[in-house]
Amino acid sequence: MVSSVFVVGNWKMNGSVLLAGDFSTELRRIQPELATEVQIALCVPDTLLVSFDLDKKIRIGAQNLSEFDAGAYTGEVSANLLTEQGCHLVIVGHSERRQLFSESSEQVAKKAAQALRNGLTPIVCIGETGEQREEGKTFAVIGEQLLAVQQELGEAGMASIWLAYEPVWAIGTGKTASPEQAQEVHAWLRDQLGSVGTELPILYGGSVKAGNAAELFQQRDIDGGLIGGASLDINEFEGICRAADTLIKRKG
C-alpha cells in the first residue's frame, strides 16, 4: 500500500515571484517538523519553477507539457525544458485543460507518456462533471479517461504515475465531495488499476482545505490531495500538511 500522504498544490495561473519567496521561507520552517511520509509538492506556472528555494524533499512541478519533443510548436513547453528547470512532476489532463483547451483523453495519455519518457512523474487528472454525476455516468466517464492512459502507458508505465480524482463540480466551488463519495471512486479506481493499484498514489482534488483535509485523507484509498485555492494561502496549506502529518503519526 502507499504509505505516504501527498499534499500537492496546484497554483493554476496564480502566484508571483514574491509569493514563491514567501512560500519558500514558510515551507523551510514547517517541513522539518513533519513526518517524512508527508510528501509536499507545488505545481506552479512555468515562469515560477525556478523562483523557489526549498528543501530537496519538496518537489516542484508544472501544470502542463507538450506531447512533442521539440520543434515548431509556438507557445508550447517540452518535457525536456521542464526538467532543465528542476521540475519533477507535471499535471496532465486537468479538467480546466480538457474543458477550456479541448484536450482529449488520447492527448492527455500522450502527454503522460512523454512526461515518463523524460523522467517527469505525471499527475494524471480525471473526473466527471456535475451533470455527468447526476446522470449516473461517473464511472463511465472516469473509466474512459483512465483507459486511454492505461492503453498508452501499459502496466509498467501506470505504476510510475500519480492519479488525481478531481470531480469537476467540486473544483473551486467550495462543494467538496463527501469523504464517502470520494472513497467510493478511489476504491473503484484502485480496482480498475489491477496489480499496480496498490503502488500508485491516488489523490483527491476539489475544494480541499485545512478544515476538511483530515476526514478526506483518512479514507482508505485516498493518498492525499491536489489542492487549488487553498494552496495559495500558506496558513491553509500548512494546515493541510499538518493534517497529513497527524494522520501519519497517529498510524505510528
Catalytic residue list: 94, 166
Q: Which is nearer to ligand 13P, 3 or 108 (CB)?
A: 108
Contacts of residue 38, Cβ cutoff 8 Å, sequence gap at least 6: 4, 5, 7, 241, 244, 245, 248
By CB under 6 A, tell whether 171 contacts ligand 13P.
yes
96 to 135: interface string for ligand 13P, x by CB under 6 A: ----------------------------------------
Sequence length of the chain is 252
Q: Which residue is nearest to ligand 13P (CB)?
A: 228
Q: Which is nearer to ligand 13P, 66 or 176 (CB)?
A: 176
Distance of alpha carbon 64 from alpha carbon 137, whole angstroms: 27
Q: Which three cell numbers stand for residue 250?
A: 497517529
Q: Which is nearer to ligand 13P, 94 or 111 (CB)?
A: 94
Question: Of 6, 10, 105, 201, which one interacts with ligand 13P (CB under 6 A)?
Answer: 10
Size of the site for ligand 13P (CB under 6 A): 14
Q: Which is nearer to ligand 13P, 172 or 211 (CB)?
A: 172
Please work out, in degrees rounded to the nearest 5, the angle formed at the alpha carbon of residue 87 by the alpha carbons of 156 and 172.
90
By CB under 6 A, tell whether 157 contacts ligand 13P.
no
Q: Which three cell numbers stand for residue 167?
A: 470531480
Q: What is the dihedral of CA 48, 49, 54, 55, to 10 degrees?
A: 170
By CB under 6 A, tell whether 172 contacts ligand 13P.
yes
Shortest Cβ 91–ligand 13P spacing (Å): 7
In order, the DSSP letters of 28-53 are HHHGGGS-TTEEEEEE--GGGTTS--
191 to 230: interface string for ligand 13P, x by CB under 6 A: --------------xxxx-----------------xxxxx
Interface contacts to ligand 13P, rule CB under 6 A: 10, 94, 166, 171-172, 205-208, 226-230
